[in-house]
Amino acid sequence: MTQWRNWSGLESATPSDVLTPTTPADVVDAVTEAAERGSPVKMVGTGHSFTSISAPEGVMLRPDALAGILDVDRDAMTVTALAGTPLHVLNTELARLGLSLHNMGDIHEQTLAGATSTGTHGTGGLKASLSAQVSGLELVTGDGSVINASATQNPDVFAAARLGLGALGILTQLTFDVEPLGVLLAHEQPMLWDEALERYGEFVAESHHCDMYWFPHTDRMQVKRNYRQDLAPADAEPLSRFRAWLDDDFLANTAFGAINAIGNRVPSLVPRFNEMSGRLLSERSYSDIPYKVFTSPRRVVFREMEYAVPREVGLAALREVRRLIEASDWRISFPVEIRMTPADDLTLGTSTGRESIYLAFHVNQHTDHTAYFRGVEEILTSYDGRPHWGKVHTRTAADLAPTYPRWQEFLDLRDRLDPNRLFANSYLERVLGN
């Protein structure tokens, strides 16, 4: 019997059947059949969500064969791809075509539909989430019908299904806005907490993408800023293969994994390790095509919670979290990540209607996260925080509803597109209600 398990290993499920559709028509058949049998059906991505959002509790549709680029429109500057296409495939194929997405998160292993369905985001830019870069989609709904949506065609479906939590139907195709392949200059600089927080507004204003990491139990931060360059990709000055391997693979994964393993056995060493890691970081600059700057390999498996809070209270929330960590006996070996996003117009977007600061908290896969995440979650909820849909949180429909101005609109659309809850699972029941 096939078991579904997510990347972090925190969630698992046993689907009743597993199908691998190769075309949108196969998806329609699978949905129609599941509807006739009264069985739930869910398409999964690569399982990179930390929650059970994609747990298949009936028929599981695998994304693997629903992959590939369908169309490139250089006049409209859009690319259309099948929904199960991995993001890294899209990125490399776009680069080959001299094109690029505008922004993305830290990794690119996820499927297009999986990443957009939870609002996967990067930092800064004009649009930070992948969902906000979608300009068209095709969706198979609960009665097996196919809806195409864009800003002008079925705009209510478009607003919601770009970040649909897998609750509105099965996406078969997605169209993304793209731009000419450019070059990003990356500048990374160690800094002390006070200076980094004091100058944060300045960093966000003068760079295009700003990302900061704080090493808990220390005063040390790493500030990363990216700047869009007016350069051809051939003129980029990437890291040497050795430096890229040393910094982004060996130090960030192999050495960090070993330090984590020791920290798990002897937690009292964690503050010293964090201080050492913070001190070892050096200033560096390089330039490269965007996806090579935005994404890097993550081989140390972890659990993560991330909240979006209104930008104006983001740093106050972070300061309060630091006070909580310092007053606790927790030993946190992973840095806290701080990102910024512009407001977007997605019905259930974590940045909908407001500029946001995202605060992300991680622990090693073998560390119990519950007390740390619960304590931090209480603080971030008090700042009107919205949890990332794909990362660990304990919120429910009743307490999420007040923080989303268009909550009811999403529920009404769900009633229309999936009245029999064919696409439901326990996670969706918790966060959206029945």
Instruction: List contacts with ligand FAD (CB under 6 A).
Output: 7, 42-49, 53-54, 63, 83, 105-107, 110-111, 113-115, 117-118, 120-121, 165-166, 170-171, 298, 388, 390
Tell the smallest beta-carbon distance from residue 32 to ligand FAD (Å).
16
Of 331 and 362, nearer to ligand FAD (C-beta) is 362
- CA dist 335 and 342 (Å) reads 23
Of 121 and 292, nearer to ligand FAD (C-beta) is 121
Residues 6+ apart with CB under 8 A from 92: 291
Of 113 and 223, nearer to ligand FAD (C-beta) is 113
Residues 6+ apart with CB under 8 A from 234: none
Tell the smallest beta-carbon distance from residue 303 to ligand FAD (Å).
9
Tell the smallest beta-carbon distance from residue 432 to ligand FAD (Å).
11
Backbone angles phi, psi at 212, to 5 degrees: -125, 150
Neighbours of 72 (CB within 10 A): 16
Tell the smallest beta-carbon distance from residue 268 to ligand FAD (Å).
27
Of 200 and 302, nearer to ligand FAD (C-beta) is 302
Buried b / exposed e across 170-184, counting CB within 10 Å, b at 16+? bbbbbbbbbeebbbb
The CA-atom distances, in angstroms, between 273 and each of 277, 306, 335 are 6, 23, 12
Of 372 and 423, nearer to ligand FAD (C-beta) is 423
Neighbours of 282 (CB within 10 A): 10
Tell the smallest beta-carbon distance from residue 160 to ligand FAD (Å).
12
What's the first-to-final CA gap in the chain, in angstroms? 29
Of 13 and 233, nearer to ligand FAD (C-beta) is 13
Of 53 and 197, nearer to ligand FAD (C-beta) is 53
Tell the smallest beta-carbon distance from residue 291 to ligand FAD (Å).
12
- CA dist 33 and 281 (Å) reads 55
Copy the structure tokens of residue 136: 């068209």
Long-range contacts of 233-236 (CB under 8 A, 24+ apart): 233/95, 233/181, 233/182, 233/183, 233/289, 235/183, 236/183, 236/287, 236/288, 236/289
Tell the smallest beta-carbon distance from residue 350 to ligand FAD (Å).
9
- Please answer whether residues 408 and 23 qualify as being in contact, where contact means their C-beta atoms are separated by less than 8 angstroms: no
- CA dist 401 and 218 (Å) reads 36
The radius of gyration of the chain's CA atoms, rounded to the nearest angstrom, is 21
Tell the smallest beta-carbon distance from residue 383 to ligand FAD (Å).
19
Of 305 and 318, nearer to ligand FAD (C-beta) is 305
Tell the smallest beta-carbon distance from residue 48 to ligand FAD (Å).
3
- CA dist 406 and 345 (Å) reads 10
- CA dist 384 and 389 (Å) reads 15
Of 171 and 239, nearer to ligand FAD (C-beta) is 171
